[in-house]
Structures are given as C-alpha cells and as structure tokens.
Amino acid sequence: MKQDNSLFCHANYENCVLWESMKSMTLTRYGYDNALIMIAVGATIISIAYIFARGWFAWLIIALGALIICFTLWFFRDPERTIPIEAKNDDSIILAPADGKIVEVTPVREENYLHSEAIQISIFLSPLDVHVNRSPVTGNVGFYKYIPGDYLVAWHPKSSELNEQSRIGVQTANGKVLFKQITGYLARRIVCEVKEGDSLQSGEKIGMMKFGSRMDIIVPTSSVINVKIGDVVVGGETILGKIR
C-alpha cells in the first residue's frame, strides 16, 4: 500500500520537516577525506563486533561504530542555505560566515588589514554546528595570511590572536572587512580556498574548520551591528549588520 506523504506530514509535522531537511542535505567536499576514513573506521568496528563479539558486548561495540558513522555524516553535512535578498542587492550587508553562537561584540584595534579601530564579532562553533564557512561580505580579497598557533578552547578571548588561523581581508564597496577562521581545542585543520585577488560574493562558500572552532568578523566602527552576545546565527542567512 502506497503511503500518503501529505497525511504523514500533517500528522507528524516535525518528522516531515526533519525528513525533508535530510533529503536536501549533502556532505561538504571539504570533508570527503576525513569522512571516508571515519565511516570506514565505524564500518570496520561494526563488522568486527558482528563477527567476533557476542551478547550485550557485541551490541555495545556495534553502537559505537554506528555512533562514529552518524557523527561523521552530521558533522560534515552541507545543508542548503538561502542568501537573503538584501545581501544580494546591498553590498553593505554583513552576513554570518558560520553557524554558531555570538560570544563577543567588542571594540578592537586591528593592525593586519584595517589598521584602525574596529568592531569584532565572534562566533563560537560547537562540534554539532555546521562547519562550512562562507564569506560575510561581497568584495575583493586584498589580504590573506595563514598563521600556525596554539589550540586554546575556541571561546577563550585569547584564541582570536593565539590560535591557528586563516585571516582574510576583503575590500568592499563600503570599506575593509577582515574575517578569521580560528581553530579550537578540538579543531586541528583549516580548509580555505581563498587567495589574494579573488572576488567573493556574500554567502559564498570559502572553506571549513574541522571539529569545533571560532570565526571573527572585524568591521569598521561606523558599522551598524544587529546581533548581541548569546544570539544564535546561521551561516549565509543571518544578517549581522551593515557597513556604513
């Protein structure tokens, strides 16, 4: 008997939304190497348990392997995002470059690219957040630098300067913006496709950070900021503010 999906959706709205989200979800190309290895490890653990283990211990090992596979598929997911019309039509809009929680909105002195007083917005990404990163603004890349460093927990204020990171400076039509991919305690690899001279569109994918991390967006002091500490943002969709 063929199932009526419309009736299923009316009766199980939350399950339907989850199912539709899963169907449109893909793995990010930035994580194929790690994902394949982790899935293979999980499958091997399940196979060994199935062949050699018995009783509750076998089920425990199988659950471990399944957990590794499920976490891998979840962590390296790359869901579709809808770039706001405002960001497409207005180059002054600042979009969230990553999913996560706002942990800092603070004045800083930026000496790498802006060379001036500025406002720093910091986003903390937990291991459960989407880790694909996007450009927060539209413009030309005028500065790029990779910096090896420490592995402090990503929410630590000093991680912005001391941790391993990529710094990307973009010249927009309204001023300069610097954003950083910063590793955390668990994150040990940054993927960044950006190089000097590239043109970026607001919301465009630029790379990812693997296993928990942080992103800083540093904008001119004249910018209007729409978010506050504690806000949860969605990469490529949440508008952080506007460059004036």
Per DSSP, which regions of 184-235 are E strands? 190-192, 199-200, 205-209, 213-220, 224-225, 232-233
Question: Is 166 an active-site residue?
Answer: no
Element (H, E) at 12: none
Which string of DSSP letters, residue by residue, matches 96-147?
A: -SSSEEEEEEEEEEETTTT-EEEEEEEEEE-TTS--EEE-SS-EEEEEEEEE
Which string of DSSP letters, residue by residue, matches 163-184?
A: B-EEEEEEEETTEEEEEEEEE-
From 6, 213, 222, 223, the catalytic residue: 213
Please give the positions annotated as active site. 213
